[in-house]
Structure 1
Amino acid sequence: MTPLLALVIVVTGAAAAAARYAVSLLFAPRLAWAVLVVNVAGSAIGGAVLGLAERAAIGADVRVVLLTGLCGGLTTFSTFSVETVQLVQSGRARTAFASVTANLVLGVGAAALAYLALR
């Protein structure tokens, strides 16, 4: 990896993290919805990137910038995990289960659909 590629990944990740924060402000105080939105969007972008890479429509450098920088900065597994624990601790286990289910089903579904559409 070149220093320039590393810098592009860092800048892309920072911009994506800022976008994630903007989404959390948009959905405040319903953080669960913000996390779901960014995780599903990031999954769809990731699936699309893999589909495009498979048919050589994008190169390896663009792939790593989009997957590691954009998707890595946008999506948030740690917030999703902590939020799930907090929901359970506050007696909202059904909401926690629904959030986990929605993130997994919609996230993997979005990735698969985007991949299949663009490969």
Structure 2
Amino acid sequence: MTAVLIFVGAAIGAPLRYLTDRAVQSRHESLFPWGTITVNVAGCLVLGALTGAGTALPGPVLALAGTGFCGALTTYSTFSYETLRLAEQKAYFYAAMNVLLSIVAGLGAAFLAYAATRALM
């Protein structure tokens, strides 16, 4: 049953990642991968909240939302690829900012959601 829940979460997260990425990126005329950062930070926010809820959430919910949905929504491979692509294009500032912003914003979102959820519970 857990595998089915993960599959369902991923079936929602993957298309949402693609659609969000395209929608965000189409609004920017720069090389910077705003779409990927958006989905990754959103996934960190959701996963931080799920982690903050801890044992208040049953295992199946964590499998569906955490492993399935967040796992498919976020994308470390695309982040890595886009960073390398920026470096290959000699857009070193954008490559460095992609790494820095992804790490700081992702961790910040996770910690913020975790703390907010813990405070509310």
Tell me the TM-score normalized by structure 2. Answer: 0.88
CA RMSD of aligned residues (A): 1.3
Q: Deviations over 1:40-77 (max 9, x none)?
A: 00000010000011xx3211221122111011010010
Report what 2:40 is aligned to: 39
Answer with 102-111 or 27-36: which moved more: 27-36
Match for residue 22 of structure 1 among 19, 32, 40: 19
Q: Which runs of 4+ in 1 moved over 3 A?
A: 28-31
Q: Which amino acid aligns with 1:66?
A: A
Q: Which amino acid aligns with 2:22?
A: L
Match for residue 9 of structure 1 among 6, 13, 16: 6
Between the aligned partners of 1:66 and 1:89, the Cα distance in structure 2 is 35
Structure 2 residues not aligned, in runs of 5+: none
Distance apart, 1:25 and its partner CA = 1.8
Q: How does 1:17-96 map to 2 (within 5 A)?
A: 17-29=14-26, 32-53=33-54, 56-96=55-95
Between the aligned partners of 2:42 and 2:87, the Cα distance in structure 1 is 25
Report what 2:106 is aligned to: 107
Between the aligned partners of 2:62 and 2:25, the Cα distance in structure 1 is 32
